[in-house]
Amino acid sequence: MDITRFVTFTLNMKLNDVSTFEFEVDLTQFEKVCTDIGLTPRNVIYPAKTEVRVSLDGVDLFGGVISSANSSLGENGQKLSVRADSYLQYFAKRLLNKNYTSTDRSQIAWDAIDTVQSITYGDLGVTQGTLATTYSSDLTADYRDVKSIIMLYTYASPTTYDFEITPSKVFNTYTRLGSDKPLVKLSYPRNVTSIEISRESDSLYNKVTGLGSGIGDERIQTTKEDINSKARYRIQEAKKLYNSVVLQTTLEENTQGFLDISTEPLVIPSLKTTALGLNLAEVFVGDSITVQVENTGYNDDVNLLLRIYELSVSVDENFNQDISVKFYNPNTGGGVEEDA
């Protein structure tokens, strides 16, 4: 059922995380349309049951399940406010009790999905797509929710995969989702309506101790340091737990990977633009684009190739689009830490 003509909506898309679609309809209009085609309105939009597909300018952007539908009735009219979560969120309520030994991380994620979907009444219809080869890990899933298993290794340093569950319910993993697109430029004030620039040192570290598998003296560990960063900012230390890592070489790679993205204060812009500034048929979460700031001395160093972590699109009743963009913070990234 196409309800585009009488809704306003906001679509929020995140890399390696749950995306959401929120819309509001005139309840009177919605009920009339349903009645005209012989449908019961409450059966058309119902939490945990109704699935939603969102396409914009011919591009499929979202697929998910309605999680809430709230009616507001009053002297100013009747409205129905609806939220849908992407298919990933379903797996937050599916628990897995299974152990994996020396299994590729992409395979762990897919097997977790496949295992819980094989149970009666548990099949969402997600199918296996392309699985990137990462490297092998052990995992003890003691009634762990499958959503957190899928997200687990998107954060591990160095990042081992990006993933998606497409609007057509295909699960794919990639060594990277998206690509560098330096010719796509968002420049304030040219095609950016507003921009916020965060500079923070909360995730600045130049001496990192990585702890792997084992107990006491049997536990493997390593320490990595960056001398230049220590000289600039004094010693900034962190401990990282990699409980599933059993090989010293893997632990060293993970620890060095975390250090490599941590030695400088982060400069993370977030901005707003319009459909004229950013074509969603060409750019999506995971892509890296050029962000520039002009006519400001303090921020004249912002001429960066930054990876898009979050895209929000708001569309009003006249189909005008406002787009908000947040960029990737390599130290948080939206994933789940390996020791979680």
Q: What is the pLDDT of residues 8-47, one digit of tens each?
A: 899 999 999 999 999 999 999 899 999 999 999 999 999 9
| Structure confidence at residue 339 as a pLDDT band (50, 70, 90) | very low
- For residue 59, the model assigns a pLDDT of 86
Average pLDDT of every residue of the chain: 90
The DSSP result for 263-282, as a single string, is SS-EEEEEEEEETTT--TTT
Name the residue among 170, 176, 178 with its Cα closest to residue 311.
Answer: 178
Residue 158's pLDDT is what? 55
Residues facing residue 268 across a β-bridge: 198
Question: Bridge partners of 162?
Answer: 174
pTM: 0.85
Report yes or no: 141 and 101 within 8 Å, Cβ to Cβ.
Answer: no
The 10s digit of each residue's pLDDT in 92-120 is: 999 999 999 889 999 999 999 999 999 99
Angle at the Cα of 270 from the Cα atoms of 261 and 167, rounded to 5 degrees: 90
Res 324: pLDDT: 95
The phi-psi region of residue 4 (left if phi > 0; otherwise alpha if psi is between -120 and 50; otherwise beta) is: alpha
Max Cα distance, the chain (Å): 73
pLDDT recorded at residue 6: 57
